[in-house]
Amino acid sequence: MLWACLRFPGLAFSAAFAVAPEAGPSALLDTHARQRLIATANDEARAHGIRRGQSVAAARALCPALEVRPRDRDAEKRLLSELAAWCYQFSGHVSLVPPNAILMEVGASLRLFDGWPLLVERVTTGLREQGHPHTLAATPFASASWVFAATADGMVIPAREGVIRMLGALPLTQSGLPGTAVTALHAMGFRRLDDVFRLPRPELTRRIGRAGVNWLDRIRGHASDALPAWQPPASFVQKIEFDAELDGSQPLLFPLRRLTRALANMLAARDGGVQRFTLTLEHARGESTRIGVAMAAPQRDADRLFELARTRLERATLPAPARSIELHADELPVFRPPVRDLFEPIRGDGLDWPTLDERLRARLGDAALRQLTVVNDHRPERASRYGAPTVTVSLPRGRRPLWLLPRPLPMRPEPAAVLAGPERIESGWWDGGDTRRDYYIVKTVHGQHAWAYLPPGTLDGWMLHGWFA
Amino acid sequence: MNAALASASHNLAQVLDHPGIWRRSADRQPRVRALSTGWTSLDTRLPGGGWPQGAVSEILFEHDGLGELDLVMPALAALTQEHRRVIFVAPPYQPYAPALAAAGVDLRFLHEIHAGSTEAAWSMEQCLRSGCCGAVVGWLPDIDYRSLRRLQLAAESGDACAMIFRSAEHAAQNSPAALRIKVSNSDEATYVDVLKSRGLLTTTAPLLRMRA
C-alpha cells in the first residue's frame, strides 16, 4: 500500500470565491464564531499583517481594501468531492479527509503511471492547470501521509522505518495530535515526536488520552486507518449562487468554466462522457432560463465542454440579470475516444465529422444543419423533407428538378416552349392535402429549364415550382 | 564567375521546385489532382481532368435553371457513394431530394447548412479546413476577393474541393479561384466556358455545349 495525500490549503478560498477569483487582499470569516473573526487570509492579506482570529474591524484598520467573505462549508465539501472525482483517474480508492485533504491509494497504480515521479508530475500539472494550490506526500500509512503533506511536499517514503525516522524529527505542533495533547506534552518538556515515541504506553495514555495515543499508533502504522472509499455519482448537478446579480453573458463565463471543469473531472473519474447537459440561470422574481447543450457524440474534454457551453450561453438572450447558474447532466454515456485509421492522412484541422458538426451547431444553432430525405408521396412538396435520410428510397418516374421553390409562384413571363409533359400528379384526397396538377418541363426566354404546372384542363395560370439547375 | 552562376541557377532550381510555383514548361507539367466532373468533354479541357482538389472552383451562371448544378452533380454523387461528405452551404432554394437521389447522391452523406452571408462564408471555411469533407458547395453571391482567398487557403489545408456558385456578373472581377467556369445560354443552348484554370497552358479553351 502506498497512500498519497493531497492537501489543498487554498480550498476554502476557491470555494468562497467561486463566482469571481479573489483579487487583492482577501480573508474568510468563521461564521460559527459568535464574533465575526478572520478564519483565513490570503498571502496578500497576510502581508498586510492580517492574522487568524482578528476581528473584522481590526483587519479593516490594517488594510481598508480587504475583501471579506464568510466561509462556505457546503461549497468546500462540494469542491473537495469534485477534486476527489478528478483524483479517481489515478486510483480506485480515493477517500475524502475534510475539510481540505484527499487520500488515494497509489501503490496499485504506480506501474500504470510508470512510477511515482511521473504520477506526481501528472497530478501536479493537472491541479496547477485547474488553479488549485496543493501539497503532496506519500507513505504506506494514510495518516502519516496526511502529516507529511503539510510539512514535506513531494516526499515519498516507501518503508516503515523511514516513516518512523522522519516522524520522529517532526515538532509536536506538526504531528497532527489534538491541540490539548500538544499543550500537555509541551508542558512536560517534550518538543519532538521522537521523545514521545519513547514513552511507555500506559504513561502516555494517562497524559494525552486514548485519542492521542490512537493517533500516534495510526501515523506509525500500528493501527489501521478506516477510510471510506469515495464513489463517483451517477449524474451531475452543480449550482453556483452569486452574491450580486450578474448581467450579460460575459461575467457568467468564470462560474461556467468552473462548472464545466467540475463536470469534466467527474466524467474522467467515471470514465464516461456527456452528450447533453442543461444550464439553468435563475433570475430575480423566480424566472429562469434553460439552455440545452447537446453534442453529436459523447465528450469529456474540459475545454471542449466549456467552449460549447459558452457559445450556447452567448447566443442565448437573457431576460434579466442572473442570480445563479446550474449545470445538470443526467445522461452520462460511455465515452469512446475517436479512433482514427493509422494510415489515413490527417488533413487540415484533422476534425472528424461529429466534431465539425458540433462546432457548426454551436455557432449556427441546431436548426441550421440539416439533411434531406425522400418521402414516398406523389405531391412534390411532400416528397422531399428535412430529416434523417433513409437508405431505401423509391423515386418518382418522371424527371425532377434539383431546385424546388419553397412554394409555387405564378410564372412571369409565361414559358417560351414546352419541352416535356404533362405529367399528371393527383394525390392527397385522403388527408385534406388534395392536389391535382399537370406538370410540364418548360423553357423560358432566357433558356432556363423550369418545372411548372397548370391546373388540369387549362392553358394559362402557369405556376413555377422548380428549376432544372 | 562560373561557380557563382552555377550556384545562382541551383538556387533558382530550388525555388522552382516549390509546389506553390507554377511553371509553364512542357517537360514539367504541374500536377493538379482533380476530381472527375463526370462530363467527359469537360474533363479533357481541365488540367488534371476534373474539378481541382484542394482548391476553389467558381461556377458563374447567368440564370437559375441553366443546368449549372447538373454540372457538379456527377462529382458530388461519386463522392457521396464513396461515403465522403458533401456540404451545401446556403443554397438559394430547397435542394430537391428525389432529384438528388436520382442523380446518384447518397443522401446520408449530403448535409445542408442554412446560414446568412457572413455565417455562410464562416461555415464554408470551417468545413473546408476540417479535412473531413469531400466537397463543399456554397452559394455566396456577395463574397469578396479576401473571403475567396481565405476559402482557397482553407480548401488547400483541408484538401477539399470547394465549389462556389455566383452570378455571371462577377466574371470580369479578379478572383483567386483555381478554376472559373461560366455557364451561359445563347443560341438556344447552354454553354460551359472555362474562363480561368490554374495549370492550363492555353487560356482559350473551347466552349462546351451542355444541353440544347
Q: For residue range B93-114, what is the model confidence (pLDDT) as tens digits?
A: 999 999 999 999 999 999 999 9
Sheet holding A37-41, edge to edge: A37-41, A26-30, A67-70
Indicate the pLDDT class of residue B5, thresholds 50, 70 and 90: low
Q: Provide the shortest C-alpha distance from residue A321 to chain B (in Å).
A: 28
For chain A, residues with pLDDT lower than 70 are: 18-23, 31-35, 296, 335-349, 391-393
pLDDT score, position B154: 93
Reduce the DSSP state of residue B152 to 3 states and report it: helix
Distance CA A215, CA A142 (A): 11
Of A359, A385, A401, the CB nearest to B99: A401
Indicate yes or no: pTM above 0.90: no
Distance CA A174, CA A372 (A): 70
Of B92, B97, B132, the CB nearest to A374: B97
Phi (first) and psi of residue A152, to 5 degrees? -130, 80
Locate all alpha helices (DSSP H) within chain B, ordered by sequence.
Answer: 2-17, 40-43, 73-81, 97-102, 117-130, 145-158
Q: Locate B2 and state its grid cell.
A: 562560373
Higher pLDDT, B26 or A84: A84
Q: Is A278 left (phi over 0), alpha (psi -120 to 50) or beta?
A: beta
Reported as type and span, the H/E element at residue A139 is strand A135-139
Q: What is the mean pLDDT of residues B43-70?
A: 90
Residues A469, B126: C-beta atoms closer than 8 Å: no
Distance CA B11, CA B5 (A): 10
For residue B5, the tally of other CB atoms under 10 A from its CB is 9
pLDDT score, position B207: 62
Question: Is the Cβ of A349 closer than 8 Å to some Cβ of chain B?
Answer: yes
Residues A402, B96: C-beta atoms closer than 8 Å: yes
Distance CA A33, CA B127 (A): 60
- Pick from A101, A363, A131, A369: which is nearest to A261 by CA? A131
Q: Which of residues 54-73 of B touch A (CB under 8 A)?
A: 62-70, 73
Indicate the pLDDT class of residue B18, thresholds 50, 70 and 90: low
Sheet holding A288-299, edge to edge: A236-246, A322-329, A274-283, A288-299
pLDDT score, position A369: 93
- Pick from A448, A390, A396: which is nearest to A419 by CA? A448
Higher pLDDT, B21 or A48: A48
Distance from the Cα of residue A210 to its chain's centroid? 44
Interface mutation target, options A356, A357, A394, chain B, most CBs of B under 10 Å: A356
Q: Provide the shortest C-alpha distance from residue B91 to chain A (in Å).
A: 9
Q: Please, are residues A63 and A44 in contact by the beta-carbon 8 Å criterion?
A: no
Q: Please, are residues A86 and A267 in contact by the beta-carbon 8 Å criterion?
A: no
Task: Tell me if the bond preceding A202 is cis, omega within 30° of 0.
Answer: no
At residue A309's C-alpha, the angle toward residues A308 and A312, to 5°, is 90
What is the three-state SS of B32-82? Answer: CCEECCCCHHHHCCCHHHCEECCEEEEEEECCCCCCCCCCCHHHHHHHHHC
Of A348, A385, A404, the CB nearest to B129: A348
Q: How far is CA A224 from CA A145, A227, A467, in A?
A: 13, 9, 82
Interface mutation target, options B94, B110, B152, chain A, most CBs of A under 10 Å: B94
Reported as type and span, the H/E element at residue A144 is helix A142-151
pLDDT score, position B151: 95
Sign of the C-alpha dihedral, residues A131, A137, A143, A148? negative
Distance CA B122, CA B129 (A): 11
pLDDT score, position A396: 77
Distance CA A232, CA B103 (A): 53
Chain A residue numbers touching B63 (CB-CB < 8 A): 444, 446-448
Q: Which of residues 444-463 of A touch B (CB under 8 A)?
A: 444, 446-450
Distance CA A147, CA A135 (A): 11
pLDDT score, position B204: 53
Reduce the DSSP state of residue A373 to 3 states and report it: strand
Of A349, A384, A386, the CB nearest to B130: A349
pLDDT score, position B28: 47
pLDDT of B201 > 60? The answer is: no
Half-sphere exposure of A333 (CA within 13 A, CB side): 12
Distance CA B136, CA B85 (A): 8
Q: Provide the shortest C-alpha distance from residue A367 to chain B (in Å).
A: 8
Burial class from Cβ neighbours inside 10 Å (0-12, 13-18, 19+) for residue B25 reads exposed
Q: Which of residues 17-56 of B touch A (CB under 8 A)?
A: none
ipTM of the complex: 0.83
